[in-house]
Amino acid sequence: MAGYRKLGRTSNQRKALLRNQVTALFEHGKIVTTEAKAKEVRRIAEGLIALAVKERDNYDTVTVQAKVARKDKDGKRVKEVVDGKKKTVYDTVEKTIKKDQASRLHARRQMLKVLYGVTEVPAENKGKKKLTKSVDMPKKLFEEIAPKYANRNGGYTRIVKIGQRKGDAAMEVLLELV
């Protein structure tokens, strides 16, 4: 007997489907899918959340100096002429950054093996590439989702049966983060 559901797909199709649904679950907080798929997605999602909860505070805060381009009131870079060429003027700024410890970095890479990259498009720019931004899903897991479940031992997702789908009578469910 297999340790997982095959979902009537080849292995690469199945892995892509599950990765897609886990990413959508973390992005939106809930998804509607069939019962068998939801049970498989739940296994993966709960493991990732448990990993995020375990490693959420495992980082060092470091102060670094960074060069940042000086900008004028319009937000454009300030340039000055040096040896007949225009060069951008840079200022040195101190920034505090979070530096992952080894175990958290490993957890982040484990998450990246499962999660797809997500691009967020603002509502007013629908259909345009301009002003889109990519969402760092492991960061979202560590900073938004893990703190909600810090004092909870498992059971991070809920499956609610909706009813049968009209076309093939498959049981549809709502899989959501608790």
Q: Which domain holds residue 124?
A: 11-49+116-177
Q: What is the CATH number of the domain that holds 129?
A: 3.90.1030.10
Do the domain assignments include residue 171? yes
Do the domain assignments include residue 1? no
Give the per-residue pLDDT at 13.
97
Do the domain assignments include residue 154? yes
Using CA atoms, how far apart are residues 34 and 173, in angstroms rounded to an integer?
Answer: 6
Do the domain assignments include residue 26? yes
Vertex 25 angle, CA 20 and 28, to 5°: 115
Do the domain assignments include residue 100? no
How many structural domains compose the chain?
A: 1
Do the domain assignments include residue 36? yes
Do the domain assignments include residue 132? yes
Question: Within a 13 Å sphere around the CA of 6, how many CA atoms are in the beta-carbon half?
Answer: 6
User: What are the mean pLDDT values of the chain's consecutive 10-residue runs (178 residues total)?
Assistant: 88 97 96 97 97 94 93 89 88 92 95 93 76 90 95 95 94 96
Give the per-residue pLDDT at 1.
58
Look up the pTM and report it.
0.83
Do the domain assignments include residue 55? no
Q: Is the Cα torsion angle 42, 43, 44, 45 positive or negative in sign?
A: positive
Pair type for strands 30-34 and 171-177: antiparallel
Give the per-residue pLDDT at 82.
85
